[in-house]
Each structure stands twice: as C-alpha cells, then as structure tokens.
C-alpha cells in the first residue's frame, strides 16, 4: 500500500515579513547623500584658495623663470665670448728676474682661453721665483692677460752669493746675475739677521764722518771686523763691541781723518786706545796700548 505524504508550507504572516525586512542587510549602491554636504566641501576649498598669496607666488615664479633664463643665456654668451689668449702683457721693473725664466712661467697660459685661464695658478707660479716680491695677474678684454711684477730690491750681498733685502730677508738667486756694488755681509750660517741689524745701526754713524761702511763681518767665534771705504779695516773683537766702536768714532776726526787714505787697519782690541797699521809702514799705537787679546 502506497502512502503519499503531502507537506503544506505555512503561509508567512505580514508580521514576520516586516521582521525579516528589518534584519536584512541592504546591498548595492550607497544611499543618496543630500546636496548640502558636498556644497560645504566646495566652500571649504574655495576659502583656502582665497587665502593663498597668489600674487607673491606668481611674482616668485616669474623671478625664478627670469633668472633661469639669464643663467642659461649667460652661460651661452660666455661660451660664445670666450676667446683664445693671444697676448700676455708684463709690466713692472723686472731688472733681475731672467727673461727666459719669466717666459717659461708664462708659456703654459698662452694656449688657454680668456675665461678658462687659471690666474691664481699663474700668480702662484710667478711667486716661486726668488726675485719676485709680489705679482698681480688680471684679464684684459678681449683676449689678453696682464701681469704686474714687483721685484725684491737687493740691498746687501751675503757671503758673496746670497742677497739680503732692505727689510733683512735673505734669498739665494737661482740663476746667475751680475751683482752691483753693494755692501757685503758675512758671518756664520743663520746669522745674517744679526749682521744686517749691526750694519743698519752703525752705518749712519760712519756717514756722519763722511765714511762708508762697505762690509761687516762676524766670525764663527763672534769677532767683528768692519771694512771702511773698501780700503781699510777696523777690528772690534768679540767683547765690548759698542764701547770700542764709540772710542774709534770719537777719536777719528781728531787723530786719523787727515790720514785716512794711508790707513790699512785699526785694531780696537785694547783696553784703552787703539793700534793703527799704516800702508807699507809699521804699526802705530795710539795713544795708550794694552792689548786685551779679544
């Protein structure tokens, strides 16, 4: 016997439909937003734009573009105006600096360009020359370089080969040069400043007596010898140098001035007085002699 089961689905009530509608999650597009919220955002952005310093921003931007154009155009103009160096003009009293050495210093820069020439390097190269006291290097439009050289002025000869300037600086010329008739200073190594200072202190006193101090020498032991008028010498020794020189100068006009052409040597190494050697004659002791031996 066949049994059929028939199941009936109960009808959903209106209340249950409402409940399911409340619990169901809405899917799909977002709900419509009223126009009042979007208008507020637009108003906010518009307010910010109104507060920006547009005039200053535009001015700065224009200046930036201007200088960018100037720099770019300036670089182009410099490249177009840069010309090869065709002449180097040297001025100043270059009396002792050999022309050959000067030409060697300038030669590397004769092939450079007007703006490309390294003027600082050229000046440093010139300052390496012993005779150069100072050098000034500058550009001369449109294709030249100007060089002004100030040389050291030789005032004394040191040991026959070195040169001492008026300020007392000692240097040794690298190239051969014809030494003029300059006073000579001699002494131990490193003593040129001491000898130079003594000369500058004593020379005015000799000039007052119409004498020329032509050489000042200091031995390794510290003994001083002066040469006057390139003809005769004064021995001062090592001790009481200033006192002995004062004694000589005080008595020169009274005792020796009339016969200075006949003097060969004056020895001041005496406690009182001096010894004079005349040319081709024996020594004369004037007036009191007591040799101290130094």
Q: How far apart are CA 31 and CA 102, in angstroms?
A: 94
pLDDT score of 59: 67
In this chain, the answer to whether the domains covering 87-151 and 154-286 adopt an identical fold is no
Is pLDDT at 4 greater than 50 in this prediction?
no
Residue from 81, 77, 104, 84 nearest 144 by CA: 84
Is pLDDT at 148 greater than 70 in this prediction?
yes
Give the CATH H-level superfamily of domain 87-151: membrane protein fhac (3.10.20.310)
Query: 229 CB contacts (<8 Å, ≥6 apart)?
Result: 211, 212, 214, 260
Is pLDDT at 158 greater than 70 in this prediction?
yes
CATH topology of domain 154-286: Rossmann fold (3.40.50)
Query: Is this structure's pTM higher than 0.75?
Result: no
Between 6-20, 68-82, 83-97, 166-180, the lowest mean confidence (pLDDT) is in: 6-20
Is there a contact between 131 and 175 (Cβ–Cβ < 8 Å)? no
Q: What mean pLDDT comes out for the span 157-180?
A: 87
Q: How far apart are CA 57 and CA 47, in angstroms?
A: 17
Tell me what percent of the residues of the chain surpass a pLDDT of 90: 49
Between 13-22, 55-64, 171-180, 203-212, the lowest mean confidence (pLDDT) is in: 13-22
> Domain spans of the chain?
87-151, 154-286
Query: 264 CB contacts (<8 Å, ≥6 apart)?
Result: 232, 233, 277, 278, 279
The per-residue pLDDT for range 116-147, each reduced to its tens digit, is: 999 999 999 999 999 999 999 999 998 999 99
The per-residue pLDDT for range 280-292, each reduced to its tens digit, is: 766 556 655 444 4
The per-residue pLDDT for range 66-124, each reduced to its tens digit, is: 565 555 444 455 555 678 999 999 998 888 888 889 999 999 998 889 989 999 999 99
Is there a contact between 213 and 226 (Cβ–Cβ < 8 Å)? yes
Q: Bridge partners of 136?
A: 148
Is there a contact between 269 and 283 (Cβ–Cβ < 8 Å)? no
Helices marked H in the chain — which ranges?
A: 14-23, 35-51, 54-81, 99-106, 119-127, 192-207, 241-251
């Amino acid at each position: 016997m066949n049994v059929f089961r028939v199941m009936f689905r109960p009808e959903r009530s209106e209340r249950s439909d409402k409940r399911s509608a409340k619990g169901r999650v809405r899917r799909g597009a977002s709900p419509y937003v009223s126009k009042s919220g979007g208008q507020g955002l637009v108003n906010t952005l518009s307010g910010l734009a109104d507060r920006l310093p547009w005039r200053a921003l535009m001015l700065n931007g224009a200046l930036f573009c201007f200088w960018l154009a100037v720099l770019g155009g300036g670089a182009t103009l410099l490249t177009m105006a840069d010309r090869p160096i065709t002449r180097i003009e040297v001025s100043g009293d270059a009396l002792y600096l050999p022309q050959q050495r000067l030409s060697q210093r300038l030669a590397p820069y004769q092939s450079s360009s007007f703006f490309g020439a390294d003027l600082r390097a050229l000046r440093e190269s010139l300052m390496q020359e012993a005779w150069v006291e100072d050098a000034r290097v500058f550009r001369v439009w449109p294709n030249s370089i100007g060089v002004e050289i100030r040389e050291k002025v030789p005032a004394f000869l040191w040991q026959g080969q070195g040169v001492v300037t008026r300020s007392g600086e000692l240097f040794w010329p690298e190239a051969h040069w014809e030494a003029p008739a300059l006073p000579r200073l001699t002494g131990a190594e490193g003593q040129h400043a001491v000898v130079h200072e003594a000369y500058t202190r004593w020379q005015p006193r000799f000039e007052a007596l119409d004498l020329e101090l032509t050489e000042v020498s200091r031995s390794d032991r510290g003994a001083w010898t002066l040469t006057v008028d390139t003809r005769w010498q004064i021995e001062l020794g090592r001790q009481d140098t200033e006192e002995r020189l004062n004694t000589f100068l005080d008595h020169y006009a009274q005792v020796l001035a009339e016969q200075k052409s006949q003097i060969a040597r004056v020895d001041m190494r005496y406690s009182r007085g001096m010894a004079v050697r005349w040319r081709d004659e024996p020594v004369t002791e004037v007036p009191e002699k007591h040799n101290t031996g130094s």
